[in-house]
Amino acid sequence: MLAGPFSLRYVHLFVGNQSPGAFILSKNGRSANFVGASPDDLAETLEHFAQHSNYRYFWFAYTSSADEAVELEHTWTHRYQPSDNTGPSSGIDGTDWHCTTTGCATCALSRARS
């Protein structure tokens, strides 16, 4: 379940569990600018972005494992086509995830690049 948008300044009010998870960051609270994941502590990763970026809003979902967080990150990157992602932001790749979005623009782009 995707929850949000929440204010990135108040991460700790909304993300209370120490858990893996995935998130979407936004500057205007409407469109996705950046998709990321945390393998072990979603709140800590979001706090980092709160202090070192100019995003103002976020959506997030807890996952039960790091693998699931990375899969969700992939899925959302393809579904929402965030403007600021240049690759898998968690730096974790090589899962057996496959995009199932028909006519996915992100896949078309990465095919064009390679």
Q: Which candidate, 13, 47, 64, places its Cα nearest to that of 25? A: 47
Residue 9: which H helix or E strand, with range?
A: none
Please identify which residue in 7, 75, 81, 106 interacts with Zn ion, judged by CB under 5 A: 106
Q: Does a cis peptide bond (omega within 30 degrees of 0) precede residue 5? A: yes
Residue 74 binds Zn ion, judged by CB under 5 A = no
Minimum CB separation of residue 110 from Zn ion in Å reads: 8
- The radius of gyration of the chain's CA atoms, rounded to the nearest angstrom, is 14
Residue 59 β-bridge partners: 24
Q: Which of 49, 104, 109, 113 binds Zn ion (CB under 5 A)?
A: 104
Residue in 14, 56, 71, 99 binding Zn ion, rule: CB under 5 A: 99
Residue 75 sits in the site that holds Zn ion (CB under 5 A): no
Q: Counting contacts by CB under 5 A, is residue 81 touching Zn ion?
A: no
Which pair of tokens denotes residue 2?
């995707």
| Residue numbers at the binding site for Zn ion (CB under 5 A) | 78, 99, 101, 104, 106-107
